[in-house]
Amino acid sequence: MPPLKRLVVLASLLAAPLAGAGAQSSGVVYGTVRDSTTGRPVPQAQIILVGTNLETLADTSGRYRLAGVPAGQVRVLARHIGYRASLRTLDVAAGESANLDLSLRPSPLDVEPVIVTAAKRSQLLDQAVTSVALVSDSDIARRAVSTVDEAVNKAPGVLFLNGQVNIRGSSGFVEGLGSRVLLLVDGVPANEGDRGGIDWDIVPLEQVDRVEVVKGAGSSLYGSAALGGVVNLITHDIPIGFHGRVRATAGGYANPPEQLWSFRDYTGGLGGLDVTGSYGTEALRGSVTLGGRHSDGYREQDKSDQWETAGKAEWHPAPDTRVTASGSWTSHQYEVGPPWCERGHCDDHGLAFQPFLIDTANHGAFTRSDKGYVAATLERTPSARFSWHARGSWLRTHFTDLHPGPDDFGVANRFGAELRGEVHAPGGGVVTVGAEGSYSDVTSNIFTGDTTATSDTIRSHDQSEFAAYGEGEHQAGPVRLTAGARMDFIALDGGSVSSVLSPRIGAVLPTRAGTWRASLGGGFRAPSLAELFVSTIAFGYRVIPNPDLQRETAWSFELGNSTALGSRVHLDAALFWTEARRLIEPVFTLQAGNPVIQFQNVARARLRGLDMSLVAIPFPWNLTTSLSYTFLDARDVATDSVLAFRPKHLATLSADYGWHSLSVGADFRVVSRIEQIELAGPYAGDPRVATKVVDLRAGWERGPVSARLLVNNVLNYIYSLTPGTLEPVRTVSVTFAWKY
């Protein structure tokens, strides 16, 4: 069947749950949400009209207003983190308003948060067909992290390898190129247009309200790069009135634990300041964040300076319409340190390697990386049954690598647009359909596609993508069934168009033994412009382009269960299995008898395992404990060997205790030794060890003021995850925050 015809058939299948949907007269529901024990209002409580796409947030006084409510009997759900959700039923007359005050009972376990990423629409976490890990704003504040990647790195099943994110071992490590995880900022794709990697500093952490990590293939809704999962950074809603936040951090790095590794005669420091101001009315709201940070680094040649700004504006011209504009710009200048010095390439003191020193040949290497985005979104909810959403975005990255020899640079753009509609049928069915397009280009002297390595050649390349997608959800008895697909059309440098279909089916079944979920989905990743056209020198070898690279593909299956064991323990566990083909990896090869490096479709991989998280509040006092664990069996099926950069075990044990305005907590993270690496030649005898890191934290909070002490890697455990790259040593920091 031709691709277009398949799309038409799919669309007709998706439309099936809509039978019977039609316009109705409407009314208004309003009221106040309060804490049932204290009577205080609950700001930012989420109010949802069940079975529709109508929802709103309570204001700072706990008040809410839902317009366009269909006349008749309706169900209203109120929820907030730290409270048990409340569901109420009431009758609404056409053209009338109905008051409904809601009270929420505090609950130690927040088991039903609302997510927006797994299905490209709001849904309860336990209604998602795939696993989703959440990092809430309270998690971010409690851990006192300063950057987005530090926050994401704490999510269960997530591991960063020298800045490259892995979800269940999805990406491995390829020097930041070709991420198999898609980054979204408020739903806007934000992977780099040239390298396909992720700039985690594109948004200040101060802007981020929460993070959703969707695990498994997400291409049926998000297309390329969502092969191994999706990370969505959701920025703060702007409250009504004047508000401000100031956050200041200062700290220092421990010195090397061995005198033989000593590399400087002072203690390295770090510091940062972020200031956010916002003002909002019912109709107009805006916020601006300015920030900067400096780090001396914990290794030789590791200093960095970063300046960042971000803004967001909202306009509510009508109760059913919202226009949002947002953007950010970050300028990051950092010295380039790794890989560390191997014997003989520095003042090595006779050691095989010096983890805190770098090769003297790399002295002076420096990178300037500027990046930013602007996005505009129009959301309309013409009726309780139908809403639509349109957005446009522009992402720009510009890097310059200054090092001994000719400098490298790349300027890349990624323009995107999307139109999406969401329809709720009276019987509980939901259909989401949309179309998305993007255009990426790069101008560079290393992504040229040139067959001769010369920094004097500057060329441009581009890639266009257009996609249509749809997903329908149908309630069949107790089971929620989901089916959908996305068709992507991709053209490189204006050439011929290739297409790829990414389907997904799933089901959610609530039972007495918890909520079961199962899904099977196809995913793909188109090679990045960098992988296709790179032409440079690495490790003293020519890296040659490969314009014939094919897209990677994968099928992912997952069976999961989420269950509450009593009122104080919550368990979520999932078995996963991914079969991947044509993975793109850098390999050494011979070209005309000469050794060169080239990206090639090589591996046929199988990644399977268990992913679980357990949250428990074992005592009647304020102690919260959690354990997350991922077992990964990742094999290169073609060579019957362990897949590179995929540790078998990843576990994090956490405990937090709160007493009045004080809190203390600890994390213990274990990553088993990475068994296999790529391009092993330059790293002969790479001394890898397992990761065993303990982080401690303490906090004090009173009203709008808080102070937090964070000691990362308190035992000063010296380790690396990628060859020749020392992971952070013990780092002590103090963060003061003030909110108005």
Partner 1 sequence: MPSRMWRLALATAATAACNEGLQPTPTCPSGFVGICGLVTFQVPLPDSLRDSTDAVFIVAYKNFPTAPESLFNFLPLPPPTVPTNNSTYPYSLQLPNGRYQWVLAVWKKKGTLTTQSADSLLREVGFYKDDGDTTTHGSGIVTVNGTARDSIDFVIDFGNMHRICTYFPPCPP
Task: Provide the binding-site residues for partner 1, judged by CB under 8 A.
Answer: 258, 260-261, 342-345, 350-353, 355, 452-453, 539-542, 565, 568-569, 588, 590, 592-595, 614, 616, 618-619, 625, 627, 653, 655, 668, 670, 679-682, 684-685, 687, 689-690, 692-694, 715, 717-720
Tell me which residue of 429, 432, 457, 424 sits closest to 443, measured CA to CA: 457
Distance in angstroms (rounded) separating the CA atoms of residues 160 and 166: 6
Report how far residue 272's alpha carbon sits from residue 269's, in angstroms, rounded to the nearest whole number: 11
Between 575 and 614, CB nearer to partner 1: 614
Minimum distance from residue 348 beta carbon to partner 1 (Å): 9
Burial annotation 697-733 (CB, 10 A radius, 16+ → b, else e): bbbebeeeebebbbbbbbeebbbbbbbbbbbbbbbbb
Q: Are 670 and 650 in contact (CB under 8 A)?
A: yes
Would you say 327 and 374 are in contact if contact means Cβ atoms under 8 Å apart?
yes
For residue 288, the tally of other CB atoms under 10 A from its CB is: 15
CB of 133 to partner 1, least distance (A): 21
Q: Give the separation between CA 147 and CA 131, rounded to whole angstroms.
A: 24
Q: Token pair for residue 474? A: 């149908």
Contact 693, 716 (CB under 8 A): no
CB of 620 to partner 1, least distance (A): 11
The least CB distance from residue 640 to partner 1, in Å, is 16
**Sign, CA torsion 578/579/582/586:** positive
Give the nearest distance from C-beta 293 to partner 1 in angstroms: 27
Minimum CB distance to partner 1 smaller for 228 or for 355? 355
Least distance between partner 1 and beta carbon 629 (Å): 11
Distance (Å) of CA 716 to CA 607, 649, 708, 721, 728? 32, 21, 20, 15, 9
Of 78 and 729, nearer to partner 1 (C-beta) is: 729
Closer to partner 1 at the Cβ: 619 or 740? 619
- Give whichever of 1 and 592 is closer to partner 1, judged by the CB atom: 592
Q: Which is nearer to partner 1, 16 or 715 (CB)?
A: 715
Pick 253 or 261: Cβ nearer partner 1: 261
Nearer to partner 1, 602 or 689 (CB): 689
Question: Which residues, listed in sequence order, are joined to residue 468 by a DSSP beta bridge?
Answer: 435, 487
Least gap, CB of 275 to partner 1 (angstroms): 37
Q: Where are the alpha helices (DSSP H) in 90-233?
A: 137-143, 148-152, 219-222
CA gap 28, 66 in Å, rounded: 6
What residues contact residue 17 under an 8 Å CB cut-off, 6+ apart?
Answer: 425, 427, 429, 430, 431, 472, 473, 474
Alpha helices in 137-183 (DSSP H): 137-143, 148-152
Looking at beta carbons only, is 340 or 399 nearer to partner 1?
340
CB of 453 to partner 1, least distance (A): 8
Continuous segment of H or E residues that includes residue 509: strand 497-511
Q: What is the DSSP string of 636-673?
A: ETTTTEEPTT--SEEEEEEEEEEETTEEEEEEEEEEPP
Q: Cβ of residue 429: shortest distance to partner 1, in angstroms?
A: 39
Q: How far is the CB of 460 from partner 1 (least distance, A)?
A: 25
Are the beta carbons of 554 and 217 closer than 8 angstroms?
yes
CA distance 431 to 474: 9
**What is the smallest separation between the CB atom of 676 and partner 1, expressed in angstroms?**
13
Contact present, 31 and 63 (Cβ < 8 Å) = yes
Radius of gyration of the chain (CA): 26
* 98 CB-near residues (< 8 Å, 6+ apart): 27, 28, 29, 30, 69, 90, 91, 92
| Least gap, CB of 491 to partner 1 (angstroms) | 33
